[in-house]
Amino acid sequence: MQRHWGGYTSPLDYVRIKDGGKMYDLIIIGSGPAGLSAALFGGRYSLRTQVIGSILGGAMAEAWEMQNYPGFKSISGVELAQKMKEQVEAFDVKIVQDEVIKIKSKKSKIFQVMTRSGKEFESRALILALGTQRKTLNVPGETKYHGHGVSYCPTCDAAFFRNKTVGVVGGGDAAITGALLLERYAQKIYLFVRGEELKGEPANIKRLKSKGHKVEIIYNVEVVEIRGNQTVEGVKLNNGKEIKLDGIFVEIGATPASALIKDIGVETDERGYIKVDENQRTNVKYVYAAGDVTNAMGGFKQTITAAAQGAVAAASAYRDLTQS
């Protein structure tokens, strides 16, 4: 038998009327593929939903070319993010470009979200789609030349190195795809790999190795210093060799951006990734997490898996908010 709350068919309808409709049912923190997918499903479930994120598309926006997202033979991360945004906004979901700096859990089981611009929002449920933060080399010269030859975003900065010599640090998918993009602009690319082999999608590795002498892969090395004058002029390797460069791109992975959630008691694993169950629920009621910030999918972190987790998180929020 279906219960009724003062003539309303669910507890969510009841509390919406009680608070005058001023509060959000769902706030999604992060505007990458996980956050945007969650927003789409939140809108489709008729939840009063808002997305807050500093960069539309998140890390996906840095992808110059994506060939592994269903429905698109080839698409840039920026273009895919824009298409997602348009689809989300068709369901009256607001997307706010801002940075969340604090989350509080109030005694009334309402979450208060504060942003860097000084705005405050309240919601009955949260989806944490916080993504990750890029790792740095932590070597001399890295901070000094950041923005003057040191970059963490080939998509953003590749065009500045047309006909130049550049280096890429890393041996995974991000480094490989970064080098493939840079090959379109730079005269010469060095790929510095700490291990003995590349660890990425076989198709991308094959493409990279087909570039001939333009891309030189150096294995079993580490960059120990970045040198220059006003801008980057070269790097020193741990084998003592020095290589002249006009720029260096660091693509050595990322760490979960989970520091924001400590005040509300959300649990993380030993690496800092948010623990979630198969329904993207965290240990805190009405708090869910999706995308690269979670420990889900066995560490397989792709745009498509982030989007899937966002959809599941929104479905879980809907079920929990409307259950009897």
Q: Known catalytic residue: 269?
A: no
Alpha-carbon span 117 to 132, nearest angstrom: 22
Rounded to whole angstroms, how far apart are CA atoms 182 and 216?
13
Tell me whether residue 92 is one of the annotated catalytic residues.
no
* Contact yes or no for 13/124 (Cβ under 8 A): no
Q: Which of 19, 25, 98, 156 is catalytic?
A: 156
For residues 64 and 72, what is the distance between their CA atoms, to the nearest angstrom?
14
Pick the catalytic residue: 13, 19, 25, 153? 153
Tell me which residue of 278, 284, 292, 295 sits closest to 261, measured CA to CA: 284
Q: How far is CA 23 from CA 31, 207, 224, 262, 314, in A?
A: 20, 50, 51, 23, 17
Q: Single out the residue of 150, 152, 118 nearest to residue 135, CA to CA.
A: 152
Kindly report the number of other CB atoms within 10 A of residue 290's CB atom: 33
292 is catalytic: no
Cβ atoms < 10 Å from Cβ of 250: 26
- Give me the catalytic one of 25, 157, 246, 292: 157
Q: Which residues contact 220 (CB under 8 A, 6 or more apart)?
A: 193, 194, 195, 196
Please report the DSSP string for 150-199 in residue order.
Answer: EES-HHHHGGGGTT-EEEEE-SBHHHHHHHHHHTTT-SEEEEE-SSSS-B
Tell me, what amino acid is at 257? A
Task: Output phi, psi for 266, to 5 deg.
Answer: -75, 130
Please give the structure tokens belonging to residue 58: 């998140």
Active-site positions read 153, 156-157
